[in-house]
Structure 1
């Protein structure tokens, strides 16, 4: 049984279609990237999953059932707009959130202290939220999301306000969660972070699904035929090879995009004897490259 099944959901605001017939499935043991530019419809989609917004059409099933108060305790949700009480002390606030999810005060306290230790903010337990740095507040919000050991974790822009060290710390925790069997939805416009974390991708642009599937399969299908070459010799040779679609030549290193259907070995045959090759490496397109390719194509066909 899927952890989450979203079927053909749509949502409009004053005639503007924010989400247009989006479908996807999330299984346990997976990190599912919900990707797209700001304003693409990611947050609206998540709010429909959480029943904060009701879809105009379509359906959402969590653990095979419609959303209910009981099911909400099986979900950890980190919203894009953070919601901490600035006058409360950190530990008191975390205990409060734990109790909202059905934990006893003792269990919530123990879990909160354990996570604060793991995230290196145990010394902030008795500080008020308003006294903390933005990064520490973000860690508190993250702990509040996972405190009750949810089966499905939904994170909307989770790295906002974090420095690179803490971004890596959160990434490691999410990977541990996946290993333990949890399902994670990770919404972001940061393609590089998604590429390192996610095994399944849903890409949304202007409210519509433009891509859905496994990361490796997507890169194989949509990735361009790219080759990186380190060489010695006359770089003008690249201008004379008809199977090259484009080339960025930096003097001793060239980034080459081959025409459709051309194998890298064909390029190698053209170069042997013309330049001295130190490195010849095929390269997958990044998620960012694929996203730009799809979005620019969408704009072209308006």
Structure 2
């Protein structure tokens, strides 16, 4: 029986290159209609996992389905794919390049040209429809290739590190395009090592490190793996306040303190601080970011590798 509520599934995917297990038993379940992120540092196995899901390469072990089919290539016309390695014919005009990519997925040329112009206008690239690819900036050319992956209105859109190399303006355009595709009804699966994009876009996510899944769940599930932090500023700072604060409290350099929220809540602590005469000048509760969760799961070294990439 086909699972129509899941656009992509994987169970126990393994891929070896020589003696190295690049992907080591990955399980994934991508609900239909969601934006799903595959996160991890460079070299984590994200690209290899996506390529196995799409049928570009075969797993050494494990099973996967794509849009309910265990032969991914049989449903390739219903999939849009932006690979990590970009590539367009430089002598083609932008609309031609988009229409050509649509034609590879079964879209007729006339419809492809019409949709290409509409997509470029919606993406803020209407001024560039008749420009050749070689005349476009790197960011604009990357957006054109992305538009080529959605011109045939796929049911599933797979994007491998789509934000890589884009300036902030084009990153914002790309985020809007991803949200528009989700609103159209498409399922979006994308990989990234940049937490900010995933935090803004993802409904669910998987974190992969060392070829293994380290976390899977919603953004709320991810944040729930770490306690909230409190930022407290006393009204009357004085020596001795640290003795009343949790053991991990650290000064912020401006008279305030940051510490992990106590298990019993903060109310009892605040009463003690008020009774001791310190008072409250400021108090904020800071929820953990996806960046914080990522660091905890994959470690500082992996995060630095991602930052240096």
Match of 2:293 in 1: 290
Shift of 1:275: 2.7
How far 1:133 moved relative to its partner?
A: 0.6
TM-score by length of 1: 0.91
Matches within 5 A, 1:90-129: 90-129=94-133
Q: For 2:22, which of 15, 18, 23 is the aligned residue?
A: 18
Preserved CA contact (<8 Å) 1:94 1:140: yes
How far has the Cα of 1:235 moved from its partner?
A: 6.1
Q: The residue matched to 1:73 in structure 2 has which SS?
A: helix
Residues 1:269 and 2:288 aligned together: no
CA distance in 2, matches of 1:177, 1:17: 34
Q: 1:34, 1:42 within 8 Å by CA — same for their partners in 2?
A: yes
CA-CA distance at 1:249 after TM superposition: 2.0
How much is the aligned-residue C-alpha RMSD, in angstroms? 2.0
How far apart are residue 143 of structure 1 and its match?
0.4
Stretch deviating more after TM superposition (113-122 or 262-271): 262-271
Name the structure 2 match of 1:240.
243
Using a 3 Å threshold, how does the CA distance of structure 1 residues 233 and 46 change in structure 2: closer, same or farther? same
| Structure 2: 5+ residue stretches without partners | 303-309
Out of 35, 42, 54, which is 1:38 matched to? 42
Indicate conservation of the 8 Å contact 1:225/1:257, yes or no. yes
Deviation (angstroms), 1:269: 2.5
Cα distance between partner residues in 2 of 1:176 and 1:96: 22
Identify the match of residue 9 of structure 2 among 5, 24, 40: 5
Cα distance, 1:238–1:203 mapped onto 2, change above 3 Å: farther
SS of alignment partner, residue 98 of structure 2: helix
Normalising by structure 2, what TM-score? 0.89
Aligned-pair CA distance for 1:68: 4.4
Cα distance in 2, alignment partners of residues 248 and 76 from structure 1: 50
**Aligned mate of 1:207, from 211, 221, 244:** 211
Alpha-carbon distance in 2 for matches of 1:237, 1:126 = 70
Contact 1:235 1:249 in 2 (8 A): no
Q: Deviations over 1:188-230 (max 9, x none)?
A: 011121111111010001101000011112212x122311224
Q: Give me the whole-angstrom Cα distance separating, in 1, the residues matched to 2:41 and 2:272.
A: 40
Q: Tell me, what secondary structure is at the counterpart of 1:59?
A: strand
Q: After TM superposition, where is structure 1 displaced by more than 6 Å over at least 4 residues in a row?
A: none
Alignment of 1:186 with 2:213, yes or no, is no
Q: Secondary structure at the match of 1:216?
A: helix
Within 2, Cα distance between the matches of 1:35 and 1:235?
A: 44
Confirm or deny: 8 A CA contact 1:200 1:214 kept in the other structure: yes
Shift of residue 298, structure 1, vs aligned partner? 10
Q: Deviation string for 1:151-194 (max 9, x for gaps)?
A: 11111111123222222222122223223322111210111211
Matched residues in 2 for 1:180 and 1:248: separation?
A: 48
Distance 1:179 1:128, change over 3 A: closer
